[in-house]
Amino acid sequence: MKTIKLIIISIVTLGMVSCEDFLSTEPLTTVTDANYYKTPSDAYTALVGCYDGLQTVWAGGVALPLAAEVMSDNCFGGTGASDAYNFQAIDHFDVSLAPSYQNLYGDNWTAYYRAVYRCNVLLSKMDQIEWGTEENLQAIYEAEARFIRAYLYFDMVRMWGNIPLITEPTTENLPQADPADVYAMIAGDLIFAIENLSSLPYTSQDPATYGRVTKWAAEALLGRVYLFYTGYYDQTDLVGVVNQSQALSYVEDVITNGGFGLVEDFANLWPAASVENYAGEDNKETVFAIKYTFTSDYNGNTDGNHWLVMYGLREQSFYPYGNGWGGGTVNPKLWNAYADTDTRKIASIISVEDEGLDFDLDRQREYTGYANKKYTPMSDMDGNSVAVEMGGTNFMIGQFQDYVSIRYADVLLMAAELGSGNAQTHLDMVRQRAYGDNFTPLAVTPVSIMKERYLEFALEGIWYYDLLRQGLDTAAEAIEESTTVTNAGVVEPKTITTAKFMETKGLMQIPNSQITLSSGVLKQNTGW
């Protein structure tokens, strides 16, 4: 069962505007600044609204964990044989493949800025709240809200590169900021979170903190931000705020003092890979996760994992795998990259043939024989949706698997990459779990660390950004593809050239609707 439920809190979005205004956020309510944000309880309710904003950024549109896998060399677009070619446009960085669909990420843009607005409102009201004897909560709530804002902006600046930077509750029509300014805000927010969550008495595995930000999550995310920014933008430090030594100290603090550990069996991290042996949500390896539950409906509750259904086998169930829309079919190159002795192979990927699944090819586009096992809907032995059996409205919006954004294994490999004196130990820990009795040591080098990240975090929405931070040429070499796929039962060529990738610099399309809404203040990314 879920240990935390985040609900939509409309009262946290004050100072509303018309839905036609630029970056519009929420409907007008009767709650105003004059009669709200007075007590610590009010602040907590607003904070829950911030978490809810993060939870819902992928409820519509294209979820980043899926888009990132499709853009990488791990997955193709897939989906149904008669569907529009939207996911192929993402796969090829070419919207001309879906000419009628000019707003690939329109819902996501709106949802991200809505969530940012919630955080900005709460942060702007901290000083008017009467904290009384609970004054310590002010810094804690502010730290959590600033982490969420940093997380949102890190997603956005990696996705779109050139985005408005909004740090106050406004719907003003602002131009795009220099990415360095966005990263400076992200770094500042995360450092504030680290400093103001450091004195809390709970550990990372305290049930009271499940789903909530901790110091360890902020330190780990800052390490990830440092590595991406310095790699993608070819810089020596994070906007002059965090250098390599400081980034290493943050992630090593997580290792030394965070109380985390690796789940002994890699398969047990994933419900469909382990079923009855699943280690559970909020296990000892979870540093930060976006929480979901099965209570989504069509009346305003948006608590479910709405994007998981995209990864499901196309309109077919085979225990324990539930049906879905067949998106993100796995490139056979990934399957073949694993040694047969690597337990991550069968824990990460559904192999239709090896598992003896009688899959009907007629409804599937870009069938490869492989699908995502880490994130997939589940069914019981009779083919019934587990989400529906738990109480979900339907299998499309009732999925409840959390998105584990940061695992302890990631922290270990970040520390190794950043030059930890224990780099060999960190790398060995990750590989020993993967290979068990077949483990053999591998020397620590930039190449060996990246190879391990490729195998460890495949299909989790991480590898694409690891590719980008190695340089566009390196990423293009990996993404370029010439193979075959099966479309509605017919084997056809699948070729991905990299000219559009290089032109776009790996960035996503800014929704054209937003450019129009801004009266041209926003500019489209090159190549889109």
Q: Is the per-residue pLDDT at 343 higher than 50?
A: yes
Q: Is the per-residue pLDDT at 328 higher than 90?
A: yes
Peptide bond into 320 cis (omega under 30): yes
What is the pLDDT at residue 202? 56
Q: Is the per-residue pLDDT at 26 higher than 70?
A: no
Report which of 66, 75, 87 is spatially closest to residue 478, judged by C-alpha positions: 75
Query: For the segment 166-207, what is each residue's pLDDT rounded down to a tens digit?
Result: 999 998 999 999 999 999 999 999 999 999 998 665 555 677
Q: Tell me how far apart the alpha carbons of residues 337 and 342 are, in angstroms, rounded to a whole number.
A: 10
Report which of 168, 193, 310, 187 is spatially closest to residue 237, judged by C-alpha positions: 187
Under DSSP, the state recorded for 150 is: H
List beta partners, residue 367. 486
Q: Tell me how far apart the alpha carbons of residues 476 and 314 are, in angstroms, rounded to a whole number.
A: 29
Q: Tell me how far apart the alpha carbons of residues 309 and 323 are, in angstroms, rounded to a whole number.
A: 7
Angle between helices 106-124 and 136-160 (to 10 degrees): 160
- Which tokens sit at 237? 């430090």
Query: For the segment 73-91, what is each residue's pLDDT rounded down to a tens digit?
Result: 999 999 999 999 999 999 9
Q: Is the per-residue pLDDT at 5 higher than 80?
A: no
Mean pLDDT of 249-257: 97
Q: Tell me how far apart the alpha carbons of residues 514 and 393 are, in angstroms, rounded to a whole number.
A: 32
- Which tokens sit at 216? 């360890």
- Which tokens sit at 340? 């047969």
List of E strands, 111-265: none
What is the pLDDT at residue 135? 87
Phi and psi (nearest 5°) for 516?
-65, -45
Q: Tell me how far apart the alpha carbons of residues 181 and 183 are, in angstroms, rounded to a whole number.
A: 5
Query: For the segment 193-248, what is each residue's pLDDT rounded down to a tens digit?
Result: 999 998 665 555 677 778 899 999 999 999 999 999 999 999 999 999 999 999 99
Q: Is the per-residue pLDDT at 310 higher than 60?
A: yes
Mean pLDDT of 36-58: 95
Q: What pTM, to 2 d.p., does this model score?
A: 0.93
Q: Is the per-residue pLDDT at 3 higher than 80?
A: no
- Which tokens sit at 476? 């293009």
Phi and psi (nearest 5°) for 275?
55, -100
Q: In the structure, what pLDDT confidence band is assigned to residue 8 with cuts at 50, 70 and 90? A: very low
Q: In the structure, what pLDDT confidence band is assigned to residue 473 with cuts at 50, 70 and 90? A: very high
What is the pLDDT at residue 2? 44
Residues 57, 67 contacting (CB under 8 angstroms): no
Q: Is the per-residue pLDDT at 357 higher than 50?
A: yes
H or E segment and range at residue 350? strand 349-351
Instruction: Using a pLDDT cut of 70, give the percent of the chain over it.
Output: 92
What is the pLDDT at residue 102? 84
Burial grade of 2 (CB within 10 A; 0-12, 13-18, 19 or more): middle
Under DSSP, the state recorded for 73 is: S
Instruction: Using a pLDDT cut of 90, give the percent of the chain over it.
Output: 88
H or E segment and range at residue 486? strand 481-487
Query: For the segment 124-138, what is each residue's pLDDT rounded down to a tens digit?
Result: 999 999 999 998 899
Under DSSP, the state recorded for 508 is: P
- Three-state DSSP class for residue 419: coil
Phi-psi region of 184 (alpha: psi -120 to 50; beta: other; left: phi over 0): alpha
Query: For the segment 428-458, what is each residue's pLDDT rounded down to a tens digit?
Result: 999 999 999 999 999 999 999 999 999 999 9
